[in-house]
Structure 1
Amino acid sequence: RISVGKAPGRADMTQADINALLIERGKAGQRVERLKGGDPFVFGRGGEEAEFLRERGVPFRIVPGITSAIAAPAYAGIPVTHRDAASSFAVITGHERGDERESGTRDAGNAEMRRDWSKIAHAADTLVFLMGVESLGENAQKLIENGRAADTPVALVQWGTWTRQRVVTGTLADIAEIARAAKITAPAVTVVGDVVRYREAIRWFDTGALFGKRVLVTRSREQASELSDKLRTVGADPIEFPMIRITEPADGYAGLDAALPGIGGYDWIVFTSANAVKQTFDRLNLLLLDARAFGTTQVAAIGSVTADALRERGIVADFAPDEFVAEAVLAQFPEPVSGKRILLPRAQDARDVLPDGLRERGATVEIVTAYQTVIETEGAMQIHEMMDAGELDIITFASSSTVRNFVEAMGGSPVPDAVMLAAIGPVTADTCRELLRPPDCIATEYTMDGLIAAIETTLAAKGAAL
């Protein structure tokens, strides 16, 4: 990967250098992907690059994209055309050749030489300006001077389609001041026309309680993406800060490997996490065994995610309690328990409430360590800075170990009261109380969906109280 991106006021590489690089790599026989945002032929300089390649005998293909001129307004709930408001739209660059304010380039030329504002003002019912934040006030004034009504609706969509998307609306007369007060900066798309009025009726992307919230995800690297993906679907901006890493147990799987060949001789095998399922089946495969090794052994799954992990491997749990904590499992565990042989593959240093409770009821419980979690500290300084700057809204904890490791990684620093703490269940909540402070919300369903639902409920309640 070679970064050749451009941002306001800077460019990783000049256009001439980009062209030269394309030729160099293309003539070396390499397959080159020139990745651009939006559509390469809509103010993406794709036409220039294609022409340059053709002149020098380098073959290419064009893959169309979706231009931000359509995508950003759509994510803001603004259609660029509408049967009752606009039958045409035009896309206009906010700066021209030689205008360096947002391009990050130094092309020579006259920024106004190809602009005829008398034509632009009436070119279409809807006008969409790209790369025009710095010249917003000037452009709005030019449109008014050339006959566009001063009260024409205008919207600015910053970071369109991203979870950090922000939208401000106004008119040609006041949009520059509104955008300045809201501190709207590039990248942003400007939409001019009556279609802007449809935003409140159609608005869909930025309506959820979690929209735009920056949420710290403290799960292991292997599991963080699941919660992050779910958070993105409700508009949150997840920041992955894995507090734990799943590694092999201290005994190098000796205990687990010794138990697995005889797994069919147990009455029950109890899985308390998806990690335990994964590690157990990984070891089964290495031992050239599969789900058939379970024989008549009954299987318990603590938590819906654990049950799903088993189902993916061809096992339907015989027992899946309604609540996912050890105390509830003991209360619901199928009788008889006395005299039963139970295998419990679990994390190293896990709580002993479940095995102790089963033993008290007469079971023989064999504990084998399937994995251990170790602390991750990479990124702690960045999280410190984000909290100090007020750039973090919520911290999620999916287990007690993530709480303990977070506290250790952060050097015991307190979490600002403005940052919401969200715990996946009562055990994790107790650890929060002990090491940090009482959590602001506790999931009653101990899953990622349950955690998100608890956060949404808490935010909605806080919003209603304001």
Structure 2
Amino acid sequence: MSDTPTVAVFRPGDDRSADAVALLEELGADPVPDPMLAVEATDATPRTDAEYAILTSKTGAELVSDAGWDPGETTVCAIGSATADALRDEGYAVDIVPEQFTSSGLVARLEREVDGARVEVARSDHGSEVLLDGLEAAGAYVHETILYRLVRPEGTGESAEFAAAGELEAVCFTSSLTVEHFLEAAAERGLREAALEGLAEATVGVIGSPTAETAESMGIDVDVVPDEATFDALARATLEAVRTTPK
């Protein structure tokens, strides 16, 4: 392993990518930023007649703020600390953040209090069914508003070329969609199998069990799933594994 491991990162090509690159450089890595997600807003706004409103991302927080959403007396829930921070930055009070920053963690936090309640879930078009199914099983009346669609930007796939050439020592997948889009980009370049072979020799870090399940189902062995579902935790745990686990 080199003293400065090469790490692919797939955050959206805005400040999230810049922040991820800065963190990886601070941790002594050589980042390969390859944004695998872009946002297409739907211009929809969350309903305001629910007892609970759930936001699941920084992007969602910014979009509802831009739309002038006023939650009123609604109990505002954020799926994790990053979303909560984004909501607060936009001027919203956050009432509930689960201990486990996942859909199942939020269901576990709410399931004893939402029986008969109206719950508004405002998120992307690729949200996990775990959240909706779990809340409905707890007796909630759930409504989902699609705030934005997640698409793969044109021109992505540099990281697939690195992987195919055996030049990646680690990757940090942040959602199931980043895994799917990485392999789509590799396939477009005729490198899908070679990229998979490259990942087999790299340290693969992912956020959350759904992302791990997606990766495994597509032939990617997962090495790291941090306890905390944040990019900071993912980057640190992945680099620690790179430096302590021989490949």
Q: Structure 2 CA distance, aligned partners of 1:220 and 1:459?
A: 24
Which residue matches 2:33? Answer: 240
CA contact (8 A) 2:87 2:93 kept: yes
Q: Structure 1 CA distance, aligned partners of 2:213 and 2:19?
A: 24
2:53 partner letter: I
| 1:55-77, Cα deviation, whole Å (9 max, x unpaired) | xxxxxxxxxxxxxxxxxxxxxxx
TM-score, length-scaled by structure 2: 0.88
Which residue matches 2:122? Answer: 345
Which residue matches 1:423? Answer: 206
CA contact (8 A) 1:216 1:238 kept: yes
Matched, 1:303 2:96: no
CA gap 1:405/1:350 in 2 versus in 1, 3 angstroms:
same
CA contact (8 A) 1:268 1:298 kept: yes
Q: Structure 2 CA distance, aligned partners of 1:298 and 1:439?
A: 36
Q: Spell out structure 1 runs of 4+ moving beyond 4 A.
A: none
Q: How many residues align?
A: 239
CA contact (8 A) 2:62 2:86 kept: yes
Which residue matches 2:64? Answer: 280
Q: Structure 1 CA distance, aligned partners of 2:52 and 2:160?
A: 45
Q: Structure 2 CA distance, aligned partners of 1:395 and 1:424?
A: 11
2:10 partner letter: T
Matched, 1:221 2:13: yes
SS of the residue aligned with 1:441?
coil
Which residue matches 1:72? Answer: none
Cα drift, residue 430 of structure 1: 0.9
Q: Structure 2 CA distance, aligned partners of 1:426 and 1:294?
A: 31
Q: How does 1:21-170 map to 2 (within 5 A)?
A: none
Matched, 1:386 2:162: yes
Which residue matches 1:333? Answer: 110
CA contact (8 A) 1:396 1:423 kept: yes
CA gap 1:415/1:273 in 2 versus in 1, 3 angstroms:
farther
Which residue matches 2:238? Answer: 455
SS of the residue aligned with 1:442?
coil
CA gap 1:394/1:456 in 2 versus in 1, 3 angstroms:
closer
Q: Give 5+ residue unaligned stretches, structure 2.
A: none
SS of the residue aligned with 1:229?
helix
Cα drift, residue 218 of structure 1: 1.0
Q: Give 5+ residue unaligned stretches, structure 1.
A: 1-208
SS of the residue aligned with 2:245?
helix
TM-score, length-scaled by structure 1: 0.48
Which residue matches 1:212? Answer: 4
Cα drift, residue 334 of structure 1: 6.0
2:185 partner letter: A
CA contact (8 A) 1:210 1:456 kept: no
| 1:76-112, Cα deviation, whole Å (9 max, x unpaired) | xxxxxxxxxxxxxxxxxxxxxxxxxxxxxxxxxxxxx
Cα drift, residue 349 of structure 1: 3.3
Q: Structure 1 CA distance, aligned partners of 2:197 and 2:64?
A: 37
Correspondence for 1:399 among 175, 188, 191: 175
Q: Structure 2 CA distance, aligned partners of 1:211 and 1:316?
A: 44
SS of the residue aligned with 2:221?
coil
Which residue matches 1:436? Answer: 219
Identity %: 29
Correspondence for 2:93 among 313, 316, 328: 316
Which residue matches 1:103? Answer: none
Q: Structure 1 CA distance, aligned partners of 2:156 and 2:50?
A: 44
Cα drift, residue 314 of structure 1: 2.1
CA gap 1:211/1:281 in 2 versus in 1, 3 angstroms:
farther
Q: Structure 1 CA distance, aligned partners of 2:131 and 2:185?
A: 29
Cα drift, residue 282 of structure 1: 1.6
2:78 partner letter: A
SS of the residue aligned with 1:401?
helix
Q: Structure 2 CA distance, aligned partners of 1:404 and 1:454?
A: 22
CA contact (8 A) 1:325 1:427 kept: no
CA contact (8 A) 2:207 2:229 kept: yes
SS of the residue aligned with 1:216?
strand
CA contact (8 A) 2:203 2:242 kept: no
Structure of greater relative contact order (alpha carbons < 8 Å, 6+ residues apart): 2
2:90 partner letter: R
Cα drift, residue 385 of structure 1: 3.6
RMSD (CA atoms): 2.1
Q: Structure 2 CA distance, aligned partners of 1:278 and 1:426?
A: 26
CA gap 1:415/1:345 in 2 versus in 1, 3 angstroms:
farther
Q: Structure 2 CA distance, aligned partners of 1:379 and 1:248?
A: 20
